[in-house]
Structure 1
Amino acid sequence: MKRIANPPSTAGEIDPLSLPQRLIDAAMTLFFRYGYSRVVVDDIARELAISKKTIYNHFGGKADILMAGIERFATRYLSGAEAILNDVDLTFRQKLNAYLLHIGISFSSINRAFLDDLKRSEPIAWQRMTDFRREVPLKNFAQLLDEGARVGYIRDDSTRQLAILVYVSAVQSLTDPDFLAQFPGFLPVDMANNPRETIEQVINLLLRGMLTEKFYRE
């Protein structure tokens, strides 16, 4: 394919130095939206207005992009989580709310249909994503709740362990259009399209059953 001279820089121009990251981001957006199996390399190329050859210059194929995307997702999540947990300027109340929101927003895009698709077509990638979703948020969340229990803000019983599982499960379900479709007329039709609002409502419900009176007094 004949190389086209680079046009003058514009706001939408793809920076060659960040092209692999842009490829990953575009591909993962398509995978989450349409399902991994339904997306082909041509779709990714079309999304970025580049050639398939350019994609293959960076990745061996769609499966390689997927694995890189999962690792990029994990890195971004951990970076954001650590920034919240290590922020000494945040009160416990602010830290807890920020971390819960971080979990919710991060995982709201990963719906059940996407995971089922991966389980059938890319079992290794599915296992990596499943392990990450199960282990990492729970570990960091438990660390934060243990801190809250030490200072008397969180109930020091099995409630907080249960709360972790309830929250993660609720966020994954209430931001999944396929799950919400099972309850026509019962839940707002646009709930899956407003993940932040939905997640904030879940946070409020969760905290009422987990926090002590001391938390509300201070």
Structure 2
Amino acid sequence: MEFPAVPMETPADVHDPIPTDGSAGTRILRAAREHFFRFGYGSSTMDDLASELGMSKKTLYLHFPSKEAIIDTIVNHMGRMISSRLDAITADPKRSFVQKLCEVVETVGGALSRVSPMMLRDLQRYAPRIYDKIEQIRQRNIPIYFTRLIEDGIKQGMVRPEIDPRFAGEFWLHAIRGLIQPDILEKNQLTPRQTLEKAIDLFFGGLLTPVGRQDYAKHLAHCKKHASA
């Protein structure tokens, strides 16, 4: 089964949900994100951020009362971006199932690409409320969008018709929640994005029809080339 080619879209904000308006708040968020990813959340301080930004602590505190407030805002931006992007991808009737799958993986993988096991462990230890919020975002998005994706795959003959989309969506949620845990990532020596890609191959390998597997294999190289661009 062939589907009309639809260009793979990668809006500028797919991997960067923080606005680019040049405001002081945006500058703080961008600098903090880079600092947290480079040095870890636990070892970063408001003093460090103020020094890196070249602003006084008073100015920094005028915008954000704590570093937890900063990471909370970053996570909120990321959550909204992922939800908006996944909604646009999975609701588009012009994209084939495999194209949607590629773009879903790229969107989620892009968001995870700079998150290290150390960063997740830091949040789990020093900002458990934020870590729980990430879990809530995952729990809210996965059943909706992966169920929709699987339903679309069944309609297009790419996913086995006997698959229960809602059960498969819940299964995927619990599988990925178990795999993207700091201790499991460290044990497997994988990044969150690498874990996602391996899990997708394994999970959808069992769901696809023979035609779906052929189409997926045909598009896989394009998916990976697009992801690394």
* TM-score > 0.5, shorter chain as reference: yes
Moved more, 142-151 or 65-74: 142-151
Structure 1, unaligned runs of 5 or more: 1-14
Distance 1:26 1:210, change over 3 A: farther
Match status 1:29 vs 2:34: yes
Q: State the Cα distance separating 1:135 from its structure 2 match.
A: 2.6
Contact 1:24 1:69 in 2 (8 A): yes
Q: Provide the TM-score with structure 1 as the length reference.
A: 0.69
Letter in 2 for 1:211: L
Q: Which residue does the alignment assign to 1:60? A: 65
Query: Is residue 207 of structure 2 the alignment partner of residue 210 of structure 1?
Result: yes
Structure-2 residue corresponding to 1:127: 132
1:142 aligns with 2:139: no
Letter in 1 for 2:69: D
The residue identity in structure 1 corresponding to 2:53 is L
User: Which residue identity does 2:157 align to in structure 1?
Assistant: G
- TM-score under structure 2 normalisation? 0.66
Instruction: Tell me the amino acid that sits aligned with residue 133 of structure 1.
Output: R
- Selected match of 2:168 from 130, 155, 160: 160
* Paired AA for residue 148 in structure 1: G
Deviations along 1:4-39, whole A, 9 cap, x unmatched? xxxxxxxxxxx8743312312321333344332211
Kindly report which structure 2 residues correspond to 1:7-18, keeping only aligned pairs within 5 A, or say none. 17-18=22-23
Aligned residues: 192
Identity, % of aligned pairs?
Answer: 29
The residue type paired with residue 92 of structure 1 is: F
1:79-158 maps to which residues of 2 (within 5 A)? 79-155=84-160, 156-157=162-163
Distance 2:49 2:204 in 1: 41
Partner residue in 2 for 1:9: none
The runs of 5 or more residues in structure 2 that have no matched partner are 1-19, 216-229
Structure 2 CA distance for aligned equivalents of residues 124 and 167 of structure 1: 20
User: 1:105, 1:196 within 8 Å by CA — same for their partners in 2?
Assistant: yes
Give the drift of 1:167: 5.0
What is the rounded CA distance, in whole Å, between the counterparts of 1:120 and 1:181 in structure 2? 16
